[in-house]
Structure 1
Amino acid sequence: MDFGGVIVYVHVCPYCLNPVLCYQKDYLEHEVHPVKVDVENLECSVLLGSKIYKNAQCSNLQGLKIVAGKIASKLKLGGDEKKAFMEKVEELKRQHPRWKDYKILETALNSVLQGG
């Protein structure tokens, strides 16, 4: 996403599968701290530790596409962006069947938002 010339990498929470604009660096290193979430993700208050990442969902393609549709609606993606996002989700799921849902959604979303 582009906010005043600044490209923001969108993360997907591994617990609730909602888009989150930023994590503190500590989250990526799997240390447990209170979650700082975007306004769109106020309902999630889980502490993101290594257990959350390890136990994240790995659902079938149909379930993943339903969540992807919800994310596309929340972020108000245009028709072409939404179609590209859904195609990328399907492509990544087929290429990497063991990837967790949050990783597939995050990779596909950022690929589309950054023109990849």
Structure 2
Amino acid sequence: MLAPELHFMTLDQISNLIRTGAVTSLAATQATLERIDRIDPALRSYVEVCRERALERAAVADEEISRGIWKGLLHGVPVAVKDLCYRTYAPTAAGTKVHAGFLPP
């Protein structure tokens, strides 16, 4: 049920499901990655998908939430980060060839 419906949910809905344990962050992240795999070849909307990092961070979020540590609305919710935002864990090209491979400090 989660995989086909996740992308229609609001941030509040997904966050509440994760916070209450109705859905794990890992399950939500896997559903998101499966959808990316399924439809992005036609859309070509992602420059890079940090799959391993997303799954690792989801597992950490699930562990924290299970221990009662809740960091807020985005805690455990899978999100996409535009290539314009600096990320120290992945190149940030800002959609340009001149910045291809640039890894912010």
Shorter-chain TM-score range: 0.3 to 0.5
TM-score (norm 2): 0.38
TM-score (norm 1): 0.36
Larger strand share, 1 or 2: 1
Larger gyration radius, structure 1 or structure 2: 2
